Amino acid sequence: MVNNKCPICEITKHKDKLIYEDQDIVAYFDNLPYVKGQLVVAPKHHYVIMEQVPNKILSRMFYVSSLLSSLLYAALKCGGTNILINNGVLAGQNIDHFTINIIPRYKDDNLDLKWEPKKVDRNYLSSLAEDIRMNFIIGDDPSITKYFERDETENKSVNESISENDVTKQKTSSYDKGTSKQHEQQGIASKQEGKQEDKNKNINIIDKDYEKESLNRIP
């Protein structure tokens, strides 16, 4: 969904302003930057805050932000970058469209993002940490919580797949030996295909890591 009144949604329509684009996200130079060369990474769909962005798109945004940060180092010879997210009005968000800002930093850029450290009650932190742990699922995907299911479509698809597998198991138990033999052969073929897919995935991961490493080596 695109919001016709949103300036960021409008930018996504102008290919000439984009320095990166894929199916879900875009990147472009901010025309009102804190520092010259500041980049913006945004989802094409109109998500207001980070908690609304599907996990797949959010992960892609951070991956692309990392690559673009490396390119800024090489192109601008800057001394560092800030990866800034203003998530919500009280956090400084002034446009109702979630973005990741990549800000190149220089010695005398006069941009001050420092804050004064304050002491905090350790008992309060312990109580808060326990409350978060109680409401957070720790597992292979720590981005999944009990209360924030960001991609309902994906979850529904997984549930349907589980249900279909249960039905298949029930049917298989009533098949004759000949059919079971056929299924066994198909299972062997599926495992072989799965191994090839895993091999291809590993190759893709290596390619991406090599791509990122190569960017870091750019003088």
Among 51-60, 113-122, 125-134, 205-214, the range of highest mean pLDDT: 51-60
Convert the pLDDT of each residue in 38-88 to its tens digit. Answer: 999 999 999 999 999 999 999 999 999 999 999 999 999 999 999 999 999
What pLDDT is recorded for position 116? 84
Residue 2 included in any domain: no
* The one-letter amino acid at 32: L
Q: Domain check: are 164 and 179 in the same one? A: no
- Residue 110 covered by a domain: no
pLDDT of 123 > 60? The answer is yes
Predicted confidence (pLDDT) per residue in 136-190, tens digit: 765 545 444 443 444 455 445 444 543 444 444 444 444 445 545 555 556 555 5
Q: Is residue 1 part of a domain?
A: no
Q: Are 68 and 154 part of one and the same domain?
A: no
Could you give the dihedral angle defined by the CA atoms of residues 158, 163, 167 and 170, in that order, rounded to the nearest 10 degrees?
Answer: 100
Q: Give the C-alpha separation, 163 to 166, whole Å.
A: 5
Same domain, 17 and 86: yes
Domain carrying residue 193 = 175-214
Asked if the structure places residue 219 within a domain, the reply is: no
On whether both 17 and 96 belong to a single domain, the answer is: yes
> What is the predicted pLDDT for the residue at 195?
52
CATH number of the domain residue 41 falls in: 3.30.428.10
Residues 92, 121 within the same domain: no
CA 28 to chain centre: 18
The DSSP secondary-structure symbol of 83 reads E
Domain assignment of residue 65, yes or no? yes
Shared domain check, 20 and 70: yes
Q: Which of 20, 42, 16, 38 lies closest to 29, judged by CA?
A: 38
User: CA–CA distance from 3 to each of 10, 28, 47, 48, 191 (Å)?
Assistant: 8, 18, 10, 10, 45
Do residue 16 and residue 98 come from a single domain? yes
Q: In terms of domains, do 13 and 95 share one?
A: yes
| 99 and 123 part of one domain | no
Give domain status of residue 122, yes or no. Answer: yes
**Does 184 fall in a domain?**
yes
Give the best-scoring range by mean pLDDT among 128-137, 161-170, 198-207.
Answer: 128-137
Residue 99 forms part of a structural domain: yes
**Are 77 and 166 part of one and the same domain?**
no
| pLDDT of res. 69 | 95
**Per-residue pLDDT tens for 21-31?**
999 999 999 98
* Number of domains into which the chain is organized: 3
